[in-house]
């Protein structure tokens, strides 16, 4: 656990020292959501109807921005080989890096979402569910994205290939994340949607590190 904690702290220090990824992700998220009223019109009814979908789609796209650099820096400077040979299992290394990635990119999206929902005139009943859904859904984005980042590690135009690989896998998170918010706004039960999002996250926690570690070993050979 100490090695795991130190690895998370290392990645967080590197991310905050550079500062570019978090600012880029949040900036893209905010600017893209702000552009929608200019495209579809400022009518409150239209914005309220599409608000949940706009926020979730934009969050998915924003999460993709920093995924291609999840392992690239360690791969290029040889740190990834050292981590692979360390006593800490490579699967635990993947979990640590995904946790740091979520803290740097996913958590800011969760914090920014309610403010942008206010801008989109989202019904007040959907705010708590939006936060809960994003807390359950964004870790899955980091974990699933890590698989794609490992598979495209060292590839040319890896960012484009990563998007093609990962976006289809993000669709279930998008569907149930939006459905939970719309159910809450419509006065229906939103618990089934949140439970499915939680099930996705619980399934991704053990499965994604296994797949990612296998892809990393292949890239290091």
- Using one digit for the tens of pLDDT, what is the confidence trace for 47-56? 888 888 999 9
Report d(CA 154, CA 45) in Å as an integer. Answer: 46
Where in the chain are the domains?
2-220
As a whole-number percent, the residues of the chain with pLDDT over 90 amount to 34
Q: Is the pLDDT of residue 117 over 70?
A: yes
Largest Cα–Cα distance of the chain, in whole Å? 58
Q: How many CB atoms lie within 10 A of CB 47?
A: 18
What is the C-alpha separation between 158 and 152, in angstroms, rounded?
5
Of 60-64, 71-75, 128-132, which one has max mean pLDDT?
128-132
Q: How confident is the model at residue 159 (pLDDT cuts 50, 70, 90)?
A: low
Residues 6+ apart with CB under 8 A from 162: 64, 67, 68, 145, 148, 149, 151, 152
173-212 pLDDT, tens digit per residue, is: 999 999 999 999 988 999 999 999 999 999 999 999 999 9
How much is the pLDDT for 175? 94
Q: Say if residues 105 and 184 touch (Cβ distance below 8 Å).
A: no
Sorting pLDDT into bands at 50, 70 and 90, what band is 57? very high
Residue 145 has pLDDT above 80, yes or no: yes
CA–CA distance, 136 with 168 (Å, rounded to integer):
18
**pLDDT level of residue 79 (50, 70, 90 thresholds):** confident
CB contact at 8 A, 25 and 105: yes
Per-residue b/e over 174-196, b at no fewer than 16 CB within 10 Å? bebbbbbbbbbbeeeebeebbeb
């Amino acid at each position: 656990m100490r090695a795991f904690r130190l690895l998370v702290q290392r990645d967080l220090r590197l991310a905050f020292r550079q500062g570019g990824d978090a600012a880029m992700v949040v900036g893209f998220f905010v600017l893209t959501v702000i552009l929608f009223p200019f495209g579809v019109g400022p009518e409150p009814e239209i914005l309220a109807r599409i608000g949940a979908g706009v926020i979730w789609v934009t969050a998915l796209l924003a999460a993709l921005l920093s995924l291609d650099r999840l392992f690239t820096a360690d791969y290029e400077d040889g740190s990834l080989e050292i981590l692979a040979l360390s006593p800490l299992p490579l699967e635990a290394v993947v979990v640590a890096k995904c946790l740091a990635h979520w803290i740097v990119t996913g958590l800011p999206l969760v914090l920014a979402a309610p403010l942008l929902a206010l801008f989109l005139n989202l019904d007040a009943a959907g705010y708590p569910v939006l936060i809960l859904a994003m807390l359950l859904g964004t870790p899955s984005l980091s974990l699933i994205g890590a698989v794609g980042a490992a598979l495209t590690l060292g590839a040319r135009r890896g960012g484009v290939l990563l998007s093609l690989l990962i976006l289809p896998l993000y669709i279930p998170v998008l569907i149930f994340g939006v459905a939970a918010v719309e159910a809450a706004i419509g006065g229906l039960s939103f618990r089934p949607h949140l439970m499915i999002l939680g099930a996705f996250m619980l399934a991704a926690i053990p499965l994604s590190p296994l797949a990612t570690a296998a892809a990393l070993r292949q890239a290091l050979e």
